[in-house]
Amino acid sequence: MNTSIVRRVLGWLLALEGAFMLLPFVVGLIYREDNTWYFLGVGLAAVLLGLALAYKKAVSTVFYMREGCIATALGWIELSFFGCLPFYLSGEIPRFTDAMFETVSGFTTTGASILSDVESLSHCMLFWRSFTHWLGGMGVLVFLLAVVQLPGGSHMNLMKAESPGPSVGKLRPKVRQTARILYVIYFVMTVIEVILLLAGGMQLFDALTTSFGTAGTGGFGIKNDSMAGYSPYLQWVVTVFMALFGVNFNFYYLLLLRRVRDAFSMEEVRTYFFIIGAAICILMWDLRGDGLALADTLRNAAFQVSSIITTTGFATTNFNSWPQTSRTVLVILMFIGACAGSTGGGIKVSRIIVMFRTMIKELGSYIHPKSIRKIEMDGKVIEHEVLRGINVFFVTYMLIFSLSVLAVSIDGLDMVTNFTSVAATFNNIGPGLELVGPSGNFSVFSPVSKWVLMFDMLAGRLEVFPMLLLFYPPCWKNILRHRAAVARGVH
């Protein structure tokens, strides 16, 4: 284990977070809020400590997948710890566990909250809370790769460890170029949404924070009713952009290259929009007798489907009171999630497609035992290594999910609350059903359960294995053995 390069990555991440804290500091100055000085203090401390960690050169600049996973997992924990300090030190979220929960939820783009009165927070805190969504959406390490020239190679291991989806490829030969392309697309789409929201009469502060939550598919609202109080036009803008940010960003890159046919031939993207369309139709049929006009029913159905499948978590209505069929559809969408290579969470549409085709292949083998069939996607044969990874991911996913539901059940809450709270945090969605529905929050859980759910949020955002590696004893034994060898002068 190359601990020196991990240390440097953690240092640059911390310094980067400290620099970003200047943004909420400026917002606090604009609104003349006293709590804004906490961002300046914590930000300066983070920058100084980060630069101190990154200052000493690494023994070796090349790192492998294990270094990428460890750096990513520790980096996100580090970001969450320092990111929660302004909330905690200012007293706006007085309990450390709650402040940490809110920050982990922000960076992982989950949107699950322990706050019952969001509007009581100061503007600088609301801005930082939403901005963590934007940072975590595309990935903080991806941003680091885009702006900082890290020495050595194998930087793709950092991107693989942080990017959501079963596989990550280079858009350009160099990883830094790929990271820059992703963030340019991400930034431009965010700006376009801000402009469209401003055109609909939304205030600049509201437009920025809403766009941060939409782009990162996070869902932290700055109003107690989330998006319900905004106009139909503004709700439709958010609906469309939630769906767009749930698309694999390779789709947009192909469009930039004017390879329109290749872009629209992506099976995952076509399946993703088919699922959205089918779910909207089912919800509209199930909600047809709710007393609303057809246009309002369509808007609510489209908004919630787009919000849940992209794991954003915004709400225009209390869908917890919807009929059982509609609620069941939303729970299914929680697990499906968005496309790989997007800012959305969940299992991912590409994995669902592969698992479905694996099932079809297995059924065919019962009829034709000697036949040899390959599983394909986008006209390419899926390699055995990818299939194995998807199968292992799904088994691990179900194991963690089951243990988490068991752990939070100790609090004695009802089954629907326990099940959907884990589904909402593990899939990075935000609201669940019953006590954690759109009109509720996660303050009902004990501190122990909140830490379990925090682990679920981090594990769900980082595709499970980087977080599990922190608890894998051989990983740390290798580190201790390496340090002992270095101390003895053994090379």
pLDDT confidence of 48, banded at 50, 70, 90?
very high
**Model pLDDT for residues 313-372, shown as the tens digit of each residue:** 999 999 998 999 999 999 999 999 999 888 888 899 999 999 999 899 888 888 888 777
Predicted confidence (pLDDT) at residue 165 exceeds the cutoff of 70 = no
User: Considering only 308-317, 422-431, 448-457, 464-473, which range has the smallest mean pLDDT?
Assistant: 464-473
pTM over 0.85: yes
Cβ-based burial of 103 (10 A; exposed 0-12, middle 13-18, buried ≥19) = buried
Q: What pLDDT is attached to residue 168?
A: 45
